[in-house]
Chains A and B, each alone.
Chain A
Amino acid sequence: EVQLKESGPGLVQPSQTLSLTCTVSGFSLTDYSVHWVRQPPGKGLEWMGVMWSGGSTAYNSALKSRLSISRDTSKSQVFLKMNSLQTEDTAIYYCTRPTGSNYFDYWGQGVMVTVSS
């Protein structure tokens, strides 16, 4: 069974760095890409970036300067790090996996991150 699960701190102080982990099961990170998507309260979905199956990454141009995605294939984990957090980064953060037809078929349950002092 394919599963993705996000983990990380629920509260981050402004200007600090957010670190999230997406732990996957039921598939290999070398076969499928894993994407990060976030949703601020009451707002829409925002694609953040991707760890491609081959190990390369791509980022939303608006976040590129602050965002880094990496992985540990041996642990089936994908990591998101974003620095210089501001209150507008308060959101639910999801990791998600697309099918071979390039649509997201599996989503994690999401982790709510609040940026506040």
Chain B
Amino acid sequence: QIMLTQQAESLWISPGERVSITCRASQSLLYTDGKHYLSWYQQTPGQTTKALIYHASVRTDGVPTRFIGSGSGTEFTLSIEHVQPEDFAIYYCLQTLKSPWTFGGGTKLELK
């Protein structure tokens, strides 16, 4: 199965800063349609899980433009520009290229 590694379990940042969260896959997530099947999710303390990015770089409806997904092949990044107080949460990547689908271990944004 495809393994996803989020190296950082926690990242300490201050509001207004820019942060990047990385996700590394054990094999390429590029499909023959030219799209990468990698999505990003935000989980808040109330346990609400919300999709932010799909196909590595496409924001879902209503997601602020400060959330930027990038990457290709096996290396992906979720960047948050000018972090807001409501962005302190846990972020997960998910690959949906091949079954079984797999999540990364999660990265928690913490207030410095």
Partners in one complex: yes
Listed in ascending order, the chain A residues whose CB lies under 8 Å from chain B are: 35, 37, 39, 44-47, 49-50, 58-61, 92, 94, 98-99, 101-105, 107, 110
Q: Which of A44, A102, A107 is the one whose CB lies under 8 Å from B96?
A: A102
The 9 closest A-B pairs by CB, nearest first: A103-B39, A103-B54, A102-B96, A44-B106, A58-B99, A45-B103, A47-B101, A103-B51, A44-B105
Known: A102-B54, A103-B96. A45 touches B49 (CB 8 A): yes
> Which residues of B lie under 8 Å from residue A104 when comparing CB positions?
39, 41, 49, 51, 94
- Check B101–A44 contact: CB distance below 8 A: no
Known: A44-B105, A60-B100. A103 touches B94 (CB 8 A): yes
- Check B54–A47 contact: CB distance below 8 A: no
Known: A45-B106, A101-B55, A103-B54. A61 touches B100 (CB 8 A): yes
Query: B1-56: which have CB < 8 Å to A?
Result: 1, 37, 39, 41, 43, 47, 49, 51, 54-55
- 17 A-B residue pairs with Cβ-Cβ distance under 8 Å, sorted by A, are A37-B103, A39-B47, A44-B104, A45-B43, A45-B106, A46-B103, A50-B101, A59-B100, A61-B1, A101-B55, A101-B58, A102-B39, A102-B96, A103-B60, A103-B94, A105-B60, A110-B47
Rounded to whole angstroms, the CA-CA distance of A76 and B98 in the bound complex is 26
> Which residues of B lie under 8 Å from residue A47 when comparing CB positions?
94, 100-103
> Which residues of B lie under 8 Å from residue A59 when comparing CB positions?
100
Listed in ascending order, the chain B residues whose CB lies under 8 Å from chain A are: 1, 37, 39, 41, 43, 47, 49, 51, 54-55, 58, 60, 90, 92, 94, 96, 99-106
B97 CB to closest chain A CB, in angstroms?
8
B54 CB to closest chain A CB, in angstroms?
4
- Check B100–A98 contact: CB distance below 8 A: no
> Which residues of B lie under 8 Å from residue A61 when comparing CB positions?
1, 100
- Check A50–B39 contact: CB distance below 8 A: no
> Which residues of B lie under 8 Å from residue A58 when comparing CB positions?
99-100
> Which residues of A lie under 8 Å from residue B47 when comparing CB positions?
39, 92, 110
A51 CB to closest chain B CB, in angstroms?
12
Between A94, A102, A104, A105, the greatest number of chain B beta carbons within 10 A of the residue's beta carbon is seen for A102
